[in-house]
Amino acid sequence: MSGAAQLAPSAVSGQGRIPVLDIGPFLAGEPDAAAPLARAVTRTCEDTGFLVVANHGVPQRLVDDTFAAAAQFFARSDSDKLALKIGQYNIGYLPFGGQVVRHSPVNKNTKPNFSESFYITRDRAPDHPDIINNKPLIGLNRWPPDMPQFRAATMAYYAAMEAMTTRLVPVVAMALGLPPDYFAEAFAEPNCTIRLIHYPPQPNPEDNEFGFAPHTDNNFITFLAQSALPGLEVRTAEGEWIRPPAVPGTFVVNTGAMLARYSNDRFRATPHRVINRNGASRYAIPFFLGPNHDSIVDCVPTCVGPDKPPRYEPTTYGAFTQRLLTLNFAHRRAGGDGEYA
């Protein structure tokens, strides 16, 4: 499915198909909250793979500050942004033209995303063992030297999001019929990334051109704070594009490839895309939650059997991510800080 049909403004509201779940009682420790929440997660992850969470406990101030930091950074000059350009660790600034999504299951993407990004990961010190030992995919964050508020805002957001999202991992385990602590070791020090994204207006996109082309995420689950402007569209199993409910103060949550592998595709990674048909810039601040780089990702026992053989060989999150990064990012194929396609 590609070309003009793909770009038709046909996405409809996913209200009803994509549920809004109140996770406040679960986070508050109410004893009867976990089981019904897990059942609701099961239903939607077997359907669209998208849901919306309310009463999540992350202060709106942290969300607003991060959106503001993103807008301020992307408004800087190209030379200032390129001074922090992304390198071998996929940390820092990714300019326009830096990513063609080649692993899409629903569209043959041929053009770079019409967007620019900035990647932020766990903030490690230069003497951290993983830095000293040059552990793959782990590097130092790249900070604008004259924007101390940028680092402060995004790190406060990172800490709050890591705390909230990891508390929901037991719910995902229960949704798969597993003990709540099944993933505890894999997420003891999770791999988390914030990707700040700027989508300029795209009122009349060219054939097969997107702000973010149809793709699936490669992590475990993604949490997307509601943007001020619409643009995100979700592809259902029937091939229809729908929009998640736009409820202020909530997070849109979706499944990724790691959860699909753990669940033997019971919870598939759902394709989604972004087209900014608004008359102004759109910003997004997705938070990606994944297991530790070295954790073995294998089909869980509740999702395999005589009639359900494993669809995937065991892998690590690090190895899987390395392969996709090389496939999708021009600078990684060029090596290090190579040129962008």
DSSP string for 267-290: SPPPPEEE---SSS-EEE--EEEE
Q: Which two tokens stand for residue 165?
A: 């999202």
pLDDT tops 80 at residue 211: yes
**Residues 127-141: pLDDT tens digits?**
998 888 888 778 999
| Contact (Cβ atoms closer than 8 angstroms) between residue 341 and residue 97 | yes
Give domain 4-216+228-278+304-334's CATH number out of 2.60.120.330, 3.40.50.300, 2.130.10.10, 3.20.20.80. 2.60.120.330
Residue 132 main-chain phi, psi, to 5 deg: -60, -40
The pLDDT assigned to 322 comes to 75
Q: Are 277 and 202 in contact (CB under 8 A)?
A: yes
Longest alpha-carbon distance in the chain: 59
Radius of gyration over every alpha carbon of the chain, rounded to an integer in angstroms: 19
Question: Per-residue pLDDT tens for 225-263?
Answer: 999 999 999 999 999 999 999 999 999 999 999 999 999
- pTM for this prediction: 0.91
- On the question of pLDDT at 153 being above 60, the answer is yes
Looking at the predicted structure, is the pLDDT value of residue 330 above 60?
Answer: no
- DSSP class of 302: G
% of the chain surpassing 70 pLDDT: 89
What's the rounded Cα separation, in Å, for the pair 125 and 115?
Answer: 30
Integer Cα distance of 124 and 109 in angstroms: 35
pLDDT tops 70 at residue 304? yes
Q: State the pLDDT at residue 281.
A: 98
In the predicted model, is pLDDT for residue 11 greater than 70? no
Give the type of residue at 71.
A
Query: How far is it, in rounded angstroms, from Cα 42 to Cα 173?
Result: 10
